Amino acid sequence: MNIRRILTLSLLLCCCVVSFAQKFANLALTPQMGWNSWNKFGCDINEEKIKGIADAFVKLGLKEMGYQYIILDDGWMGMHRDDQGNFVANPDKFPHGMKALADYIHSKGLKFGLYSCVGDSTCAGYPGSRGHEYQDALKFAEWGVDYLKFDWCYANMMNAYEAYKTMRDALHAANRPVLFSLCEWGDNQPWKWAKNVGHSWRTTGDINNCFNGSKDRYGVLEVLTNRDQAMLRKVAGPGHWNDMDMLEIGNGGLTHFEEETHFALWAILASPLILGNDLRNISPSTLDIIKNTDVIAVNQDKLGIQGFRYKIVQGSVEIWIRPLVNDEWAVCFFNNSDQTVDLKYNWLGETIKDPDFNYAVTFTKNKIYKLRDLYTHKTIGTISRILSFKLAKNQSLMLKLYN
Ligand code: GLA
């Protein structure tokens, strides 16, 4: 082979590697959206249930809203690997195996995700991926897996960066683009090292089906307060997101207003929107919330800037802000209290400056922003008038400011 030919071939090879890495990197330019089995079903999953969820997913029109992944969490695998050390689907729960299920999900135009774990064992005691990373990545590719949630149980003093990088390299080597979701609970500050390892990283321990939890049992609020959001937001951006954990909307533990607020804050914080309820049995009010195109648009905003808590007014009303494309702003007033508050807010004279990124807005009579109520989808006036709104316990008002 002459030198020219060798050079051309090397160049081609380089281009392939670069474009594959690019494909991988482009999988989460906005936060991922989908459904995961854990919050509602734990390990109690099976083929029939998941197919039913996929059917409901499509029937409810979630695909059109941007949701695309169906992810099986812990408990999909058999208690043991096969003789060659391969993962096997739990034969009682998934008698036709994972490939058949992936095919079914793909046939609906959806994507398929699985869960595994850094350690020898998953949190629920099934086999984990330790020492089998490359083998598992190949198996996942063979089955048609598009998303991997990778947990941190039984990691036994492993170096988190190395452990997750090994799995990332294995996924790359298997040559199928897989969205890689790190579930390390923030123990080793993944926001400092995970940007080039995975597409998202969990920031806290598990969310529970409640709004106000406790120190040992996180509800929606503890997920927000357990970590310094001001610090976290600096590292989020297209391709790599802080994951505030899966949604508890529709699981019965939150009021209507709390479900609305949960969704709104996850949108402001650019967190992945992974539903965790039984889609086969969903109330109209929950469906309304998860199909709110205006709030979803905030979550999926192309600028990719995670929002921030701007200030607290009237004792308990938190104002959360997110700069959006085209000089638009999402503003969420959240009444973090048990008492109803008669909110009065004067925009004029206010300058909001993003503390970390180069965005600022000044409200004056010379530049009037309109206010769109993202829950009613109506324009409710402009910043020239004092905003007046009654906010009940844990209720929020989510607005978009636009020209
Ligand atoms: C951990 C994760 C959860 C879930 C369970 C499964 O607790 O943080 O999201 O995946 O494991 O066992």
Residues of the chain with pLDDT under 70: 1-20
**372 Cβ contact partners less than 8 Å away, ≥ 6 residues apart:** 294, 378, 379, 380, 399, 400, 401, 402
DSSP element (H, E) containing 141 = helix 133-143
| 246 CA: nearest ligand 1 atom | 9
Domain boundaries, the chain: 21-299, 308-402
Q: What is the pLDDT of residue 7?
A: 57
Nearest CA to ligand 1 atom 3: 206
Q: What is the pLDDT of residue 2?
A: 63
Q: What is the pLDDT of residue 22?
A: 76
Q: What is the pLDDT of residue 12?
A: 55
Quick one: fold of 308-402? Immunoglobulin-like (2.60.40)
Q: What is the pLDDT of residue 291?
A: 98
Asked if residue 124 has its Cβ within 6 Å of ligand 1, the reply is yes
Q: What is the pLDDT of residue 130?
A: 98
Span from the CA of 1 to the centroid of ligand 1 (angstroms): 53
Cα→Cα distances 49→46, 52, 100, 331, Å: 5, 5, 14, 38
- Per the structure block, which two tokens stand in for 21? 């890495």
Span from the CA of 76 to the centroid of ligand 1 (angstroms): 13
Span from the CA of 312 to the centroid of ligand 1 (angstroms): 33
Using DSSP, state whether 167 is helix, strand or coil.
Answer: helix
Q: What is the pLDDT of residue 17?
A: 53
Closest CA to 269 of 307, 219, 241, 313: 307
Per CATH, the homologous superfamily of domain 21-299 is Aldolase class I (3.20.20.70)
Span from the CA of 201 to the centroid of ligand 1 (angstroms): 13
Using DSSP, state whether 211 is helix, strand or coil.
Answer: coil
Nearest CA to ligand 1 atom 11: 123
**198 Cβ contact partners less than 8 Å away, ≥ 6 residues apart:** 150, 164, 168, 180, 181, 182, 190, 240
**What distance, in Å, lies between the first and last C-alpha atoms of the chain?**
63
Q: What is the pLDDT of residue 25?
A: 80
- Per the structure block, which two tokens stand in for 295? 């709030």
**Active site residue ranges:** 151, 206
Q: What is the pLDDT of residue 137?
A: 98
Nearest CA to ligand 1 atom 6: 74
